[in-house]
Amino acid sequence: MITSNPLIDIPVTQYYFDTFVIGAHHSVPHMIADLLRRKELAALAIQETKLEFKKKEYVKLISMIDEKLSTVDMNELNDLEFVESKYWINELSRRVAIEVNTYGRIRPDTLDLLLCIDEEDFGTIMKIAAGITNKLKMITDYAESMAAPVPPLMPRQ
């Protein structure tokens, strides 16, 4: 996954790291590649910044990355090419679901990528995206049903 800022612009927390950095990956090889990239960027940021509090945050980020990398087999990085199709099936499924739920349609740049996919993978992507969309709808419906009732004497506009 590519974020606008691959480093963490907020105080580095374990929750953020585990949920939004680690949790965003579709495969271990992609996670390893992303963490190595983030580590390199953090090391560069340490050299370039003059602000001590930012240096401490980057050092903490590097520590979290090193800790996570110590729990995986680094040889899995060699499988990056092998898992690439799985990555794109999951990535495009998420994109389609997000775009349909937010824009009501698939955006042209995503559609352009989808048109490059073979028919079998296209079907898989659409099936996964529909499942995500249905799950989001169920969660939304449940949340709406759990809302507190409006008191009968509440003024309304």
pLDDT at 155: 72
pLDDT at 3: 47
In whole angstroms, how far apart are CA 89 and each of 31, 50, 101, 126, 146? 16, 42, 18, 9, 34
Using only C-alpha atoms, what is the Rg of the chain? Answer: 20
pLDDT at 2: 46
pLDDT digits (tens, 9 = 90+) for 42-82: 999 999 999 999 999 999 999 999 999 999 999 999 999 99
Helix axes 84-102, 119-145, angle to 10 degrees: 40
pLDDT at 156: 67
Q: Could you tell me the pTM of the whole model?
A: 0.75
pLDDT at 6: 75
Task: Walk along the chain (157 residues) in steps of 10 and give the mean pLDDT of each run.
Answer: 64 92 90 96 94 93 97 94 92 95 95 96 97 91 76 71
